[in-house]
Structure 1
C-alpha cells in the first residue's frame, strides 16, 4: 500500500522533478507534487510525495526530515487527510464583499450646495 508524505519548507525554486529525485534515495517514488498558487503559479513552499510502501515512507521520514534541499532544511511527515471545511462562514467572492453600500452617508441626504 502506498503512503503519502507531506514535505514542508520547500524553496520556491524546488520542482516536482527535483522532489521526486531527492526522495528516490529512500525508495521507490510513485508521485511527487509541489503545490503552486493558482493565481500566481508560484510554489506555496510545500508538497506531497507518495512512496510505494509504508516501510519506504517511514525510511524517508527518518532519513530526509531536516535534510537540505535547494538551500532549505525540509520537514517530512506523514500526510494527514484533508478535513472537511466547516461552512459557517461561506465565501461570497474573492474579496469577501457584501451587499452593503460604502460611502459613510445615508442615501436620502439632501444636497445643500448652493447653485450660483
Structure 2
C-alpha cells in the first residue's frame, strides 16, 4: 500500500481472487482513534477519506472484498508504520494481505500514525 497524503490516493495490489466487495464509510470520528477490520476472510481493496479543515483530520472509508477459494491465516497487527509529519510507505510481506488498520490522531502534529492488520493467505 502506498498513501500519498497530498490527495490520499491509495494504490493496492490487486488480488485476482476477490469478489463481493463492499465499502464501509465513516469508520472513525475526527481526532479520534480508528480501529477497523474487514469481516472474516475479507481484505482491504480500497481506501477513501474526507478532510475537515477545522479539525485538520480525516474521516476514512475502506473497501473490503471476500477472498475466493482461499482463507486468511495468522493475522497480526504491525507496530506503527509511520511517524507524524512524514510520508507513509508500507509493503506487506510476501503472501500477506491487509485486513484492517488502527490509527491515532495527534492534535499537536495534526497528523495520524498507522498500524496495519496483516494476514497470511492460505495456499
Q: TM-score, normalised by structure 1?
A: 0.27
**1 or 2, which has the higher helix percentage?**
1
- Rg: which structure is higher? 1
Q: TM-score, normalised by structure 2?
A: 0.26
